[in-house]
Structure 1
Amino acid sequence: MESKKKLRIARQEDDAAINVVHSNMTLDEWFDKWISICKKNCRDNTKDTYTRHYKRVKDALGWRKLNKLNLMVMQDAINNLETDNQRKNSKKVLVDMLEKAYASDLIVKNIAKQINTDITREEKKMRRVLTVEEQEIFLKEAENTIYYYLFIVALETGMRLGELAGLQWKDIDFKKKVIHVRHSLTYFSKNGKYVFQMHPTKTNKGLRDIPLTAIAIDALHQQFFKKKRIVNQGKEPLEGYEDLVFVTKNNKPTTQFLVGECIEGIMRKIHKHNPDLIFERVTPHCFRHTFATRCLEANIPLKTVSQILGHSQLQLTTDLYMHVTTDMLFDSLEQFERKRHVG
């Protein structure tokens, strides 16, 4: 009876967060609390990302007491990372961790905010965008691949790969010519095993309807028959993912790795058939950049492009896609010339 009473009291204390934290915790111990309590409602793959960013500084900082951390030791740990991008990602995790520690009265100041991540000053790479000619060449070489119609829909809608991988037939309204983007499919390691999980889009802006072009509608119709052939071959789908639009040749959900492998194969064919052509590397996200650029080239308002892409802020669209392609540059100068001669 006494033991049950003690257990009940202990549970009550834990619920009240009395025994959750203490002032002499190490950073490793605090990370475990932070990820399990403060980030409890995050997606599993998001937690996995946070863990990966923290592991970069774990050896240097994890054993240190929270109340003994100082800017010099934290800056030194960040300095030893390979790239500024790694530094920025690890800093974001440390800042949030220490902000929660500060709010819990475990530290008197969040010193992680003062960490400098701009060390090597890497030059920002221009986002890869396919020119109209490159787009035609790529699709020509992709025609007989399993993801041919996925590439077309990506180029016609700007959907993220996770959104395309998670697209279901019930999300498509052929009558109204629209795709309802409602979720994203993720594939990540959980307890040492890779699993699929379907999630709602990260933000309310991600929940959106995308108008379908005639090219996209035709590609989706062709994909319907393509998948039907796969099903008729007796390929069993993964339980819970029977309605997916884009699948592997074995009727299983697709992943970024598999799409990337397919792209690499297409790139080899491009270089083989066009030995004198300089065709830079393509990634799955290039199709999204290319769609946005084609929209801007067509003078579609930036706010409309932002809504189609599902960006949470218009500024994000501006920062990402307000680059000028060679085609746009020449078109603008030609317009300038015509107006000058008319004047």
Structure 2
Amino acid sequence: MKWSDIDFKKKVVHVRRSLSCSYYNGEKRMMLVTPKTVNSIREISFLGEMEKILKAQKKKQNKLKEELGSRWRSTDDLKDLVFTTGMGSPCVRYVVEKEIKKALKRMREKEGVLAVQENREPREIRDFHPHSLRHTFATRYFEKKWNRRLSRG
């Protein structure tokens, strides 16, 4: 997703591209492509603190770009991406998986401490894949839109 895909006035995100990673002669190539299906191209209304989070991301990213200067790693087609690493490379699935694992580790440690303090067994915090977030979001988004329609009568 590029920053140009976000409409802060209408408070929507336009999903119209996907990041494709492939190898050519042993070299990794990344490019933005049209999503696999027509239904993948869509518009998603801002929910909750989405606007605030996106604006904070933009501010953080602009600061990093300024600090890194020519070391910021964005190339022609991949310039202006919303989700990047701290060096400006596209944020691929593996980066997200690594961050989720770190967050889960911190949560499990915190739960372990609380369990000892409360004299109980620690609650299980299961692993999950980043794609699960997409399905959960889609389900909750659909439910919210459907409930809004029902309440209008």
User: Structure 1 length as normaliser, TM-score?
Assistant: 0.37
* Letter aligned with residue 236 of structure 1: W
Matched, 1:200 2:37: no
Equivalent residue, structure 2, for 1:254: 91
Distance 1:292 1:209 in 2: 12
Calculate percent identity across the aligned residue pairs.
30
Shift of 1:189: 2.4
Question: 1:198 aligns to what SS in structure 2?
Answer: strand
Are the structure 2 counterparts of residues 274 and 205 from structure 1 closer, same or farther at C-alpha, using a change threshold of 3 Å? Answer: same
* Letter aligned with residue 188 of structure 1: S
Q: Aligned runs of 1:202-221 on 2, under 5 Å?
A: 202-221=36-55
Shift of 1:233: 1.2
User: Structure 2 length as normaliser, TM-score?
Assistant: 0.80
Equivalent residue, structure 1, for 2:116: none
Detail structure 1 runs of 4+ shifted over 6 Å in the superposition: none
Equivalent residue, structure 1, for 2:133: 287
Distance 2:24 2:75 in 1: 18
Are the structure 2 counterparts of residues 199 and 243 from structure 1 closer, same or farther at C-alpha, using a change threshold of 3 Å? Answer: same
Q: CA-atom RMSD, angstroms?
A: 1.9
Q: Encode CA deviations 1:162-186: one digit per residue, 9 max, x unaligned.
A: xxxxx11111110011111110012
Distance 2:141 2:75 in 1: 38
Equivalent residue, structure 2, for 1:238: 74
Equivalent residue, structure 2, for 1:270: 107
5+ residue gaps, structure 2: 113-121
Equivalent residue, structure 2, for 1:189: 23
Distance 1:212 1:298 in 2: 12
Question: 2:32 aligns to what SS in structure 1?
Answer: strand
Q: Which one has the bigger strand percentage?
A: 2
Q: Aligned runs of 1:40-119 on 2, under 5 Å?
A: none
Larger radius of gyration: 1
Question: 2:64 aligns to what SS in structure 1?
Answer: helix
Distance 2:145 2:110 in 1: 34
Residue correspondences, number: 136
Equivalent residue, structure 2, for 1:21: none
Distance 2:43 2:30 in 1: 24
Are the structure 2 counterparts of residues 300 and 286 from structure 1 closer, same or farther at C-alpha, using a change threshold of 3 Å? Answer: same
Matched, 1:300 2:140: no
Are the structure 2 counterparts of residues 183 and 299 from structure 1 closer, same or farther at C-alpha, using a change threshold of 3 Å? Answer: closer
